Structure formats: C-alpha cells, structure tokens
Amino acid sequence: MRKQRSDGQETRRNLLAAAGEIFAAKGFRETTIAEICTQAEANTAAVSYHFGSKEALYVESWRYAFTRSLSIYPPDGGIPAEAPAEERLHGRIRAIMRRITDPQSHDFDIFHKEMANPTGLLATATQESMEQIFKGLTLLVCELLDKKTDSQEVQLCAMSIRAQCFGPLLHARCRKSVQGLPTTGFESLLENVEQLADHVTRFSLAGIRALRRRQPQQSHPEVDP
C-alpha cells in the first residue's frame, strides 16, 4: 500500500511537470490531456484521478512551476534578514531577474500564453502567489523610505522597481519565442543579469534617496549609497 501511494505521488508530479512544460509552449486551449499523459508516461485516467479536470491541472501546474522557481530563486535572493536594506533590495531584484531569464521557469511562459489567450483560470492563483513576492519588496521600500505601507510614495516606488525588473526581461523572453523579429539593440544588455540587477538597484536607491531628502523631517539617517 505504501508503494502504491509513492507511485501515485510520482505520477502526480510527472503530470504536473509535463503539463507545465506543454502549457508553457502551447497554452491552455492548444494543449491536450493525451499529449500531457504521453509525456508524463501516465494513463489518461490519471488526470481525472489526481486533478479532476484539465482546468484544475492547468492551475496546479502553474502553481507547481511557480513553487519550483521560487525554490531555486528565493524572493530574498539568499540575503540574510540582518543585512543592510540596500543589500536586501539588490538580492530581491537579482532573484526576480534570474527567475525571469531561466528558460525552465515555465510559470512565466504559462502566464504569457494566458495573457495572450485568456481563460480566467489563473487569476486567483497568480494573485495569491505573486503577493508573497510583492509584499516583501514593498516592506523593504517602506524601510528605505521610512514611510508606512499605505504611503503613495511607497506604492509608486515599489511599482517602479517591479516595472524595471519585469518589463525589459519579460519583453526579451517573449521575443525569443517568436522567430524572425528584428533586434532592438538592447539584447546584449538584457543578457547580463548581474549587470542589469546592479543598475536597477543603483537607479532605484538613487530615487529613494532623492525622495528621502524631500522629507521635511527625518526619523532615521538618510540611506547611504
């Protein structure tokens, strides 16, 4: 009985891995249960047994891919909680960028296929999952700005940092999946994740320092470069 349960868990993981890869390549509507099961070396009945439907498998495969990606690139970038705020910001920015540029991060490709041809199935899962990343970044911006989380400046700064991380790299990732598109001239810059993470960190900290200087009163020393 114990072996059967073990085999069942392995089958479930194989289905999630295969589904994530195929959904990332083809999207929800163009993917069939049959090809997922073929790649996972599982019986087609296994999808109904473990997930109940193709729709449920779609959502769970995205969650599986997202969790795998976070296990490799944790949101804090591996920087200790006691490190200076500037180092922790750099760690978070670098972690986001490394996730985006990893071709095995199927959660990004699944999400973009969903954006191109929406089903509405991933809305709750993506919102819940991404909150854990964005909340940590927002709290760090609060610390750097010495403001509360509901401050408009905090929200705008966090939004700006997210845009710098996601915008150019997601655009470059999407371009790689389409053959024949002309180059933009920024490809070489976007391929150097460490250099790009350093730039975004410096640029963001400079903006935060400028905002701190505008505050009439400071309860903490100004952020150092």
Q: Is residue 62 part of a domain?
A: no
Average pLDDT score, the chain: 88
pLDDT single digits (tens) 24-78: 999 999 999 999 999 999 999 999 999 999 999 999 999 999 999 999 999 999 9
pLDDT single digits (tens) 96-128: 999 998 989 999 999 999 999 999 999 999 999
Rg of the chain over all Cα atoms, to the nearest angstrom: 21
Residues 138, 90: one domain? yes
DSSP class of residue 32 equals -
pLDDT single digits (tens) 82-98: 999 999 999 999 999 99
Residues 77, 177: one domain? yes
What 3-state DSSP class applies to 217?
coil
Quick one: pLDDT band at residue 8, thresholds 50, 70, 90? Answer: confident
Residues 42, 79: one domain? no
pLDDT confidence of residue 176? 66
Q: Is residue 66 part of a domain?
A: no
pLDDT confidence of residue 27? 96
Query: Phi/psi of residue 61, each to 5°?
Result: -70, -35
Which CATH number belongs to the domain containing residue 47 in this structure? 1.10.10.60
Residues 19, 129: one domain? no
pLDDT confidence of residue 172? 77
Report the distance separating Cα 36 and Cα 42, nearest Å. 8
Quick one: pLDDT band at residue 2, thresholds 50, 70, 90? Answer: very low
Our count of domains for the chain comes to: 2
Residues 92, 50: one domain? no
Alpha helix ranges (H) inside the chain = 2-26, 33-40, 45-50, 54-72, 85-101, 106-116, 123-145, 152-176, 187-191, 193-214
Which CATH number belongs to the domain containing residue 104 in this structure? 1.10.357
Please, which residues have CB within 8 angstroms of residue 21's CB and are 6 or more apart in sequence?
39, 106
pLDDT confidence of residue 187? 62
Q: What is the mean pLDDT of residues 15-32?
A: 97
Residues 155, 47: one domain? no
Ranked by mean pLDDT, the top range of 43-47, 182-186, 221-225 is 43-47
Can you say whether the dihedral through the CA atoms of 65, 69, 74, 75 is positive or negative? negative
Q: Structural domain of residue 202, as residue ranges?
A: 73-214
Burial class (CB within 10 angstroms; exposed 0-12, middle 13-18, buried 19+) of 104: middle
